[in-house]
Every structure is written in C-alpha cells, then in structure tokens.
Chains A and B, each alone.
Chain A
C-alpha cells in the first residue's frame, strides 16, 4: 500500500515536472468533459509559427496565447465548432490538421476515396477475367493430351 503511494507520488512528480519543463501550463478543470475537449482541441490545431507541432505541445508564445484563448472560450461555454471557427478566422485553415470539406479541399478528401474505388474496380476486373479464363472447358484435343500425360506418368 505504501509502495503504491510512493510510486503514485513519483509519477505525479514526473508528469508535473515534464509539463513544467515543456512550458505547458497545467490547467484546472472542474468538468472532466471540458478537460477532454481542451486536450482534443489543442491537439487538433497546428501552431502557426512552429508548423510541425500542435498548439497543445508547443513552446512558442503564440501557441501559449492560443491555448489561453481556447481555455477562455471553453469557460465561456462556446462549442467546439465555434472555437475552431474563432481560430480559423484569425490564423487561417492552415492551423487545422484535419482540413474542412469545402471547394478548395474536395480533391484532398476525394482523391483517396477515388483511388480506393479505382483499385477495387481493377481487382474486380482482374478476378473476373481470371474466372472466365479458368471456367473455359477443355476442348476434346486438350483433354486427350492431358489424359495422355497422366497415363504416361502412371505407367512409368
């Protein structure tokens, strides 16, 4: 029991210190759902300055500002969509790891689906072609040759 407590304390210290070292603030949430939404939102937005990090784990000052704003908007009771819109209005579609479906992104979303369908079509055509080929009955001449071969094998 005591051991569990020590391990738990150590784990908390490690988590707290790594959060502090990362410069990512620990935030208080009364509501675990809101906390989950906070982490989801900050993981889904790209830092506009650092380009390869989500705002949830970037040390850039702008990422901290954006986390502040997400937190503040959550506390104000805004929906996830409203919060994402709020950020996109200022920093552009660029900050979304998951681009939205719109005129500019039809190709982006459509191409993989189109390629999968194309691949499926090719497979279906190939399977059909193969089935047709194998289903063809042997001609009398072919049958004779096969039998001759089998018999020769047996007699030897």
Chain B
C-alpha cells in the first residue's frame, strides 16, 4: 500500500514540475513590464530640442494624460512609427518626445521631414533620462497619467493596430 502511494507520488511530482516548466518556459522575456510601472516619472532637468534655453523638468508631464515617446533620428523604426503618432495627435492625445542620444540638428531635421506630433521634446543627447526610464532601445513609449505616474509602457514600434487596440484604450482608461 505504502509502496503504491510512493509510486503514485512520482508521476505526480513529474507532472507538477512539467507544468511549472511549461508555464515558465513559454513566457516571453522580451515582453516583460517596465520596472517603472506605477511609479512616478523619474525626475530630470533638461532643455528642449527646439530651444536650448528652455529648461524643463518632470512637472512638464503633470496635469494631463501624456504619451512620452522616446525616439532618435538614428532609429529606423521611429520613422515608421511617426504616422501612428500623428494619428494619435489627431485624437487629441498630448505627446511629449524624448529625443534620445541624438544630435540637435538631426533631430530637428527628422521632425521637419516626418512630422511633429509633439507638444515639446526633451533633449537627451547623453541618454541620461533614457537610462532613468530603463530604455534600452528606441522607440519606447510611456503613458503618464495626470499625476505624473507611469501607467503603460509600449516597447518598440507602435503599429497601426496598436494605436486602436492598445494605446487609445489605455489613454481613455487613465483620462
């Protein structure tokens, strides 16, 4: 009787482990959440891309739900993403850009060529704000609520489907 119980325990252990590993190994590590989720937007001090005398800090993101898009002229996916950002601007989504690891002239030329949906751009040539945001590639997009808390993180390119299925619903949710 005892032996039979032990023999039954073995496949049960195996089944448990198999389920555990099946679940664990089918998770996609590139789809992990930002470490800043539900945290306040990191404090920073910078100038804007268009005006090197205009100083801005994290209060720029308070008062209204804001989409913060991290981009650079050197980033090919950012060009492909721009039509979607312009569409979001048409939906009256407030957008602030972070011009990440870029050269001022190149960043400005990019906006002239591909359009400018941004109310302002935080100029981040050394990538310091990007680092504090945990950005490790562009584009990355953060949704910040009216209190300045990060509520949603979109890693990589925003596709036309993402606009309708992810971004706009999230904006509505936090408005």
Partner-B contacts on A (CB < 8 A): 48-49, 51, 60-62, 65, 69, 88-94, 118, 122
Contacts and interface: CB of A to CB of B under 8 A. Distances in A.
User: Lowest 8 CB-CB distances: which A-B pairs, in order?
Assistant: A92-B35, A62-B136, A90-B134, A48-B136, A49-B136, A91-B134, A94-B32, A91-B35
5 contacts: A49-B137, A51-B30, A91-B136, A92-B34, A94-B32
A88 B32 CA distance: 13
A92 B134 CA distance: 8
B36 to A, nearest CB: 7
Contacts of A118: 13
Interface in B8-44: 13, 29-30, 32-36
A51 B34 contact: no
Nearest to B3: A129
Size range of the chain B interface in the assembly: 10 to 19
Interface of B: 6, 13, 29-30, 32-36, 101, 127, 131-134, 136-137
Contacts of A51: 29-30
Nearest to B36: A90
Contacts of A92: 32-35, 134
Contact of A89 (B29, B35, B137): B35
Given A48-B136, A65-B131, A90-B36, 13 more contacts: A49-B136, A60-B136, A62-B136, A65-B127, A88-B35, A90-B35, A90-B131, A90-B132, A90-B133, A90-B134, A91-B35, A91-B134, A94-B32
Contacts of A48: 134, 136
A151 to B, nearest CB: 36
Contacts of B34: 92
Nearest to A69: B131
Contacts of A61: 101
A8 B33 CA distance: 48
Contacts of B127: 65
Nearest to B136: A62
B162 to A, nearest CB: 21
B59 to A, nearest CB: 21
Contacts of B131: 65, 69, 90
A49 B35 CA distance: 14
A64 B87 CA distance: 35
B78 to A, nearest CB: 15
A63 to B, nearest CB: 9
A117 to B, nearest CB: 13
Among A49, A91, A93, the most chain B Cβ lie within 10 Å of the Cβ of A91
Contact of B29 (A69, A90, A94, A122): A94
